[in-house]
Amino acid sequence: MSEIREEILNLVMDLVRIKSTADRPEELKKVIDYAENYLKGTPLKITRYERNGKHSLVATFRDTKEPDVMFVGHMDVVEAEDWQFEPKIEGDRIFGRGVIDMKGPDAAMLALFKKLAELDKQPDIGLMLTTDEEVGSENGVEYLLKEEGWGARFAVIPDGGGALNIVYRGKGVVHLRAKAKGKAYHGSMPWMGENAIDKIISFYNELKGHFPKEPCGDPIHWHNTINLGRISGGKVVNQIPDHAEADIDIRFVKPWTSKKMFDFVKEIADKYSVELELISRGEPVETDPDHPYVQAFKRAAESVLGRNVELVVEYGATDGRFFAEKDIPNIVTCAEGGGAHSKDEWARISSYGELFDTMMKFLEEIGK
């Protein structure tokens, strides 16, 4: 194993041992402290942020808030059992919480910036690390872009796609909570009450009718989708429920926007006296596949891997949506692994090095 690959692996193992989950604010600070300490002593200009207990940092080689390329990572992870925070190596695989989502890729980026710091002249790039992606990014990427004024000409987010495939399109998202009120009465006399659950069901059934049914005939399902993720209401079986609520997950493609989608849903909700609460939202990502930086990254990855690298779509939301809102083209990619958010999360160790080499070659490509 080369020196840089060994360094990346050691970084991964250190980062995995930090239990940086949403309910451990001291660990969220600790993981950003670790990253900052690793980068100290370099020409990087490091700025720390903390908002609502969520810590982040942005590092640039130049005195700018709009570098040519921003590399973006999150250092928070979802909850796990204690043993998952102790990494385990089996051959070319490493197991543990965050090895693919996304402390492994974070380690590759940290090593990349440390290596670039040794050059006589550094590229115009930045590194943005946050600790709240798993809970919506409101106090991380969204805050940094919208309120602190950070931006870039292009962003690279190694948090999806898998095996260095390149995600250039992603669906927008609207998460809603629908609430209905009714009038309680004995369940044997429904004409005397007003059923709040019925309101939710009637509203949802009409709303769902505006979305394609499956099977849809589109092999990549590039259309709007809806999912009723949670519904609750009532107290006991023999009482007409006087309250009900449902959480709804809508994914959408252009030309829809989050505002247009919310307004559309609200129009239907109003017909049934259903109130809507916006939980979270994000715009679709639509980066031109012929963008010179997309093609440069593709050439770099293919040079490293010795195979064709595909341009793919993403159904789930990523931090790319916040860059898209500012019209900043971006791609999502990743090392090779699987089992994110599960007990079997894993990554191929050698793919960390491949990601590092690809990012380095990409910067060489665009710097020519």
pLDDT for res 162: 84
pLDDT tops 80 at residue 353 = yes
Closest CA to 358 of 170, 169, 160, 158: 158
Closest CA to 50 of 109, 151, 131: 131
What mean pLDDT is predicted for residues 326-348? 97
pLDDT (tens digit, 9 = 90+) per residue, 130-156?
999 999 999 999 999 999 999 999 999
**How deeply is 221 buried, as exposed, middle or buried, from its count of CB atoms within 10 A (0-12, 13-18, 19+)?**
middle
pLDDT for res 16: 98
- Would you place residue 180 in the very low, low, confident or very high pLDDT band (cuts 50, 70, 90)? very high
pLDDT (tens digit, 9 = 90+) per residue, 1-36?
799 999 999 999 999 999 999 999 999 999 999 999
pLDDT for res 367: 92
Q: Which helix (H) or strand (E) holds 348?
A: strand 346-348
pLDDT (tens digit, 9 = 90+) per residue, 238-253?
999 999 999 999 999 9
The CA distances from residue 308 to 118, 138, 166, 250, 261, in Å, are 31, 36, 11, 33, 37
What mean pLDDT is predicted for residues 176-201? 98
> Chain-wide mean pLDDT for the chain?
97
pLDDT for res 76: 98
Q: Please list the residues that pair with 247 across neighbouring strands.
A: 177, 230
pLDDT for res 36: 98
Q: Please indicate, yes or no, whether the overall pTM of this predicted structure exceeds 0.75.
A: yes
Determine how many CB atoms are found less than 10 A away from the CB of residue 135. 16
pLDDT for res 100: 98
pLDDT for res 294: 98
Whether the bond into 190 is cis, omega within 30 of 0: no
Instruction: Enumerate residues 6+ apart whose C-beta is below 8 A from 358.
Output: 164, 297, 300, 301, 304, 305, 333
Helix (H, G, I), strand (E, B) or coil at 16: helix
- Would you place residue 316 in the very low, low, confident or very high pLDDT band (cuts 50, 70, 90)? confident
